[in-house]
């Protein structure tokens, strides 16, 4: 991570916890004024001065080198591989574990990058409190160019203040200049909140002022005797428990809207208009016996009949009524008459057109599909014989 992103402090924390857990000693280099006796430090930390000979440290050592690019810089192509890089090839034999803290993997020797088994990147957005920690199985060279990586695992962490003071990130007499910088969008967001608050305050003042000038409403008519009026929120506190329960109890079982509470809002806006179909197909009767009324038609044949509403729900009527509608139709006195066609060639309901009074032939009502669908009865006028 770049400067001020918390890479050194978080590396110290993670390495100290790991060393303490495994009972290992940490050898460190280039961590300014590190205090191994700091209350937050749990493991044993020992300083060493020659990072180029890290491989000469005791076995099972955990080695930490801050700003490692100072010693492990990239080399000209084709130059001899130094010992500090080649010894990484057999590092496991001595139980060594090397942590090279740097601002970018591009600054580290390519031979060392090739042997690296884990890359941890810290990003502290605009110097804020939260840090995004990315972990990769191998070095990612473009970590400074974007913020999301499909091959890495990310966690959100915060700076742990318990480790403050265990080392110096700046020299004496200097100050931290990597401070939190609020994004411009934050200022825009705060300004929008202020404007919305002012607008809401002005609108509420106008509403309250207008409400004071409104005349008192006419008293609401009392409900008819025997029906409990719907309790308003203001009157809910004044009615008794029994009345409150009664207002929520349906008058008709299994019909919640029949409770007195809904009398003022559960008003009908339509009514059921039956569409009836029948069948004498025995196979269809067997499959749909529970979905229709079954009986015998005028010819003595076993038949099934069903009436549905215009909403597709079943209308509970008798078998006889259903068959009568299929055979004779049902007059709908709520349906307006059709307009008479110019020239008088087409008959109208109740009119004196050419086909008025003619015999009617029932159209086929039997569906051949496996599921019985409601079909509106249709009638075809039979032409009158010529005289």
Q: Where are the domains of the chain?
A: 7-163, 229-267, 275-333+358-381
Query: How far is 23 from 299, CA to CA, in rounded Å?
Result: 99
* Predicted pLDDT at 166: 95
- Read off the pLDDT of residues 97-123 as tens digits, 9 standing for 90 and up: 999 999 999 999 999 999 999 999 999
Q: Establish how many alpha carbons lie within 13 A of residue 220's alpha carbon, considering only the half-sphere containing its beta carbon.
A: 8
Beta bridge partners of 73: 108
Per-residue pLDDT of the chain (387 residues; tens, 9 = 90+): 788 888 999 999 999 999 999 999 999 999 999 999 999 999 999 999 999 999 999 999 999 999 999 999 999 998 999 999 999 999 999 999 999 999 999 999 999 999 999 999 999 876 678 899 999 999 999 888 877 888 889 999 998 999 999 999 876 656 555 555 555 665 677 778 888 888 888 787 777 665 555 555 555 555 444 444 444 544 455 778 888 888 889 888 888 888 898 898 888 999 999 999 999 999 988 888 889 999 999 899 999 999 999 998 999 999 999 999 999 999 989 889 887 544 444 433 433 332 333 333 333 333 333 344 444 444 444 444 443
Neighbours of 72 (CB within 10 A): 23
CA angle, residues 117, 122, 126, in degrees to nearest 5:
160
The correct CATH number of 7-163 out of 3.40.640.10, 3.30.70.1140, 3.40.50.300, 3.40.1190.20 is 3.40.50.300
> Strand locations in the chain, DSSP E?
25-29, 44-47, 62-65, 97-100, 119-123, 130-136, 153-158, 275-279, 293-296, 302-308, 360-362, 379-381
Distance of alpha carbon 334 from alpha carbon 357, whole angstroms:
22
Question: What count of Cα atoms within 13 Å lies in the side-chain half-sphere of residue 98?
Answer: 26
How are strands ordered across the β-sheet holding 130-136?
119-123, 130-136, 153-158
Q: How far is CA 276 from CA 195, 296, 307, 350, in A?
A: 62, 16, 4, 23
Q: Sign (positive/negative) of CA torsion 286, 292, 295, 297?
A: negative
CA distances in angstroms from 91 to 17, 46, 173, 247, 298, listed in the order given: 22, 19, 40, 82, 100
Residue 128's pLDDT is what? 74
Question: Taking a C-beta distance cutoff of 8 angstroms, is the pair 131, 157 a contact?
Answer: yes
CA distance from start to end of the chain? 105
Residues in the chain: 387
């Amino acid at each position: 991570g770049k400067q001020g992103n918390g890479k050194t402090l978080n590396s110290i924390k993670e390495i100290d916890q790991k060393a303490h857990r495994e009972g290992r000693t940490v050898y460190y280099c280039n961590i300014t004024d590190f205090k191994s006796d700091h209350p937050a430090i749990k493991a044993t930390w020992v300083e060493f001065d020659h990072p180029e000979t890290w491989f000469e440290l005791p076995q099972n050592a955990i080695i930490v080198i801050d700003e490692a690019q100072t010693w492990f810089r990239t080399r000209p192509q084709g130059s001899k591989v130094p010992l500090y890089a080649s010894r990484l090839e057999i590092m496991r034999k001595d139980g060594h574990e090397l942590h090279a803290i740097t601002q970018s993997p591009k600054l580290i020797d390519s031979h060392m990058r090739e042997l690296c088994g884990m890359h941890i990147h810290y990003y502290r957005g605009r110097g804020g409190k939260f840090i995004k920690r990315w972990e990769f199985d191998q070095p990612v060279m473009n970590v400074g160019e974007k913020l999301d990586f499909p091959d890495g695992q990310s966690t959100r962490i915060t700076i742990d203040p318990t480790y403050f003071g265990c080392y110096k990130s700046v020299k004496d007499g200097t100050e931290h200049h990597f401070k939190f910088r609020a994004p411009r969008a934050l200022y825009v967001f705060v300004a929008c909140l202020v404007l919305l608050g002012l607008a809401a305050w002005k609108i509420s003042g106008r509403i309250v002022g207008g409400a004071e000038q409104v005349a008192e409403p006419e008293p609401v008519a009392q409900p008819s005797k025997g029906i409990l009026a719907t309790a308003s929120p203001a009157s809910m506190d004044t009615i008794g428990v029994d009345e409150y329960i009664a207002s929520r109890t349906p008058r008709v079982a299994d019909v919640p809207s029949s409770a007195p509470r809904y009398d003022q809002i559960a008003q009908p806006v339509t009514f059921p208009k039956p569409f009836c179909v029948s069948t004498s197909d025995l196979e269809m009767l067997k499959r749909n016996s529970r979905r229709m009324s079954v009986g015998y038609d005028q010819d003595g044949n076993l038949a099934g009949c069903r009436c549905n509403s215009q909403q597709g729900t079943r209308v509970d009527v008798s078998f006889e009524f259903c068959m009568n509608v299929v055979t004779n139709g049902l007059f709908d006195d709520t349906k307006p008459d059709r307009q008479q066609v110019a020239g008088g060639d087409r008959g109208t309901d109740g009119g004196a057109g050419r086909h008025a009074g003619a015999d009617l032939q029932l159209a086929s009502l039997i569906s051949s599909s496996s599921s019985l669908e409601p079909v509106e009865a249709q009638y075809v006028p039979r032409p009158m014989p010529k005289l």
